[in-house]
C-alpha cells in the first residue's frame, strides 16, 4: 500500500490545527480546575471559558448568553427541535441528525431539485398554521450545494408577522445547521436572517464532540440534560473548557482565512473536476454549478461500484467517501442522491471528494491521477 495518504474526506472529519491544540493544552494539565469552584485558579479557568464563548458569539454576530455549548452538532440539533416541538419543515437532503429528530415530530419533508437546491416557494407551501420550526442546512454535506437562506428567512418572518396580525401567538422559527459551511461562507446570524444556528467544531480543525446552538433572545429552549444548571440550566454538566477554548480558536482562524481558503479550495476543486471530466466525459457531477462550497466535488461513474472504488483507492493511499460518513456506516444508498433523482446505477457509482487544509496543488494532482487510473481499471474489469 502507498505509504503517502491523500485525504479527500474533509467533510467527514478534519485534523485539529496545531494552533488550536496549543490553545487547549493548558486546560488538560495546569489549568484543570472545575470552572464552578470558588478559588482563584478555578475562577481564572471560568474566565477563559467565558472569554471563549464571547469570541464564538462575536464571530457570528451574537451575544455570549445566546449560545449553548454542546457535545457537537447532533446534540445542538436535538436541543433546537425538541425545545420547539410542533410541526416542522425540513428539506429531503438534510443531514441524518436533522431528519431523524424531525421524524420524531409532526413533519413535512420538502423536495429539492436535481442540483440539491431548495426552493423558497416549496418551503412557503409546506408551512402550516401549526408549523413552529423550519430547518434548512446552509450547505449540503454531500453535494456542497448552498441554500438561499435569506429568502427562506424572509418567508418565515413574514409568516410570523401575519400570525401576530391576526392574533395568533403560535411561534415559528428558522434554524440552520451550518456545520458544513463554516470557513467558506459568511455565518453572521443577522445577515443570514436566522433564529437558530448549529455549529460543529470538528468540521473546522477544532476538537471533535464540541458544538454550539445559538438562539435569538426571543427563542425559548427546554433542556435535554438536567443536573447542576450549567449553561443557564440548558445543558448541565461540568463545562468542557479545553474543547470550548479550542472551538473558539478554530472558529477565529476559519473566519480570518475564510475568503482566501474558499478561493483556494475552489481553484483546486475546479482543477480536479477538469481532470476527471477530460478522462471520463460520461461522468456525472452533482450539486449546483454555482452555489456550491469550494471544497466539494461529487462525481458519479455510471455502472461502477462506488464502495469498491473507495477500497481500491484506499489501497493506493487516496481516502474518499461515497457519501456522508453516517450513510456509509449504515451501508445504505445515500438519501441525498435519491432525493435529487439519480438513478441507482448512477448513484451507486458515486464518490464524494472534499478538500481542505491538507489539500495542495501537488497532492490533488497526484490524487487525481490515481483516481483516473483506478476508475479506468474498474471500467476495464467490468467489460472483461
Active-site residue list: 326
SS3 304: coil
SS3 375: helix
Computed on alpha carbons and rounded to an integer, the radius of gyration of the chain in Å comes to 22
Q: Which of 275, 358, 351 is nearest to 313 (CA)?
A: 351
3 state SS for 348-369: CCEEEEECCCCCCHHHHHHHHH
SS3 307: helix
Cell numbers at 56, concatenated: 464564538
Cell numbers at 128, concatenated: 402550516
Q: At what angle do helices 40-60 and 241-256 cross, to 10 degrees?
A: 30
- 110, burial (CB in 10 Å: exposed 0-12, middle 13-18, buried 19+): buried
How many Å apart are CA 127 and CA 282, to the nearest integer?
A: 40
Amino acid at each position: 500500500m502507498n505509504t503517502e495518504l491523500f485525504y479527500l474526506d474533509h467533510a467527514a472529519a478534519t485534523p485539529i490545527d496545531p494552533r488550536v491544540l496549543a490553545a487547549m493544552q493548558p486546560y488538560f494539565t495546569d489549568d484543570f480546575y472545575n470552572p464552578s469552584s470558588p478559588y482563584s485558579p478555578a475562577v481564572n479557568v471560568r474566565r477563559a471559558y467565558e472569554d471563549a464563548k464571547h469570541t464564538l458569539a462575536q464571530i457570528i454576530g451574537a451575544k455570549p448568553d445566546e449560545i449553548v455549548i454542546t457535545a457537537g452538532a447532533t446534540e445542538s440539533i436535538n436541543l433546537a427541535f425538541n425545545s420547539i416541538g410542533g410541526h416542522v419543515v425540513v428539506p429531503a437532503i438534510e443531514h441524518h441528525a436533522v431528519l431523524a429528530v424531525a421524524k420524531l415530530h409532526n413533519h413535512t419533508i420538502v423536495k429539492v431539485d436535481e442540483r440539491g437546491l431548495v426552493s423558497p416557494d416549496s418551503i412557503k407551501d409546506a408551512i402550516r398554521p401549526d408549523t413552529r420550526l423550519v430547518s434548512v442546512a446552509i450547505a449540503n454535506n454531500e453535494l456542497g450545494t448552498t441554500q438561499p437562506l435569506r429568502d427562506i428567512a424572509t418567508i418565515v418572518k413574514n409568516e410570523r408577522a401575519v400570525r401576530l396580525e391576526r392574533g395568533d401567538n403560535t411561534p415559528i422559527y428558522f434554524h440552520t445547521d451550518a456545520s458544513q459551511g463554516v470557513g467558506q461562507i459568511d455565518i453572521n446570524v443577522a445577515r443570514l436572517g436566522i433564529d437558530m444556528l448549529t455549529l460543529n467544531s470538528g468540521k473546522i480543525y477544532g476538537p471533535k464532540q464540541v458544538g454550539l446552538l445559538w438562539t435569538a433572545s426571543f427563542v425559548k429552549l427546554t433542556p435535554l440534560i438536567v443536573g447542576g444548571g450549567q449553561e443557564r440550566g440548558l445543558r448541565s454538566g461540568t463545562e468542557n473548557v479545553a474543547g470550548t477554548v479550542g472551538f473558539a480558536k478554530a472558529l477565529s482562524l476559519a473566519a480570518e482565512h475564510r475568503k482566501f481558503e474558499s478561493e483556494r479550495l475552489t481553484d483546486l476543486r475546479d482543477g480536479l473536476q477538469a481532470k476527471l471530466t477530460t478522462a471520463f466525459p460520461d461522468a456525472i457531477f452533482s450539486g449546483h454549478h454555482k452555489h456550491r462550497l469550494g471544497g466539494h466535488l461529487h462525481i458519479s461513474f455510471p455502472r461502477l461500484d462506488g464502495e469498491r472504488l473507495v477500497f481500491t483507492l484506499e489501497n493506493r493511499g487516496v481516502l474518499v467517501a461515497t457519501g456522508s460518513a453516517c450513510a456509509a456506516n449504515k451501508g445504505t444508498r445515500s438519501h441525498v442522491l435519491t432525493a435529487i433523482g439519480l438513478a441507482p446505477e448512477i448513484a451507486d457509482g458515486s464518490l464524494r471528494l472534499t478538500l481542505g487544509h491538507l489539500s495542495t496543488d501537488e497532492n490533488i494532482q497526484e490524487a487525481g491521477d490515481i483516481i483516473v487510473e483506478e476508475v479506468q481499471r474498474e471500467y476495464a474489469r467490468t467489460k472483461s
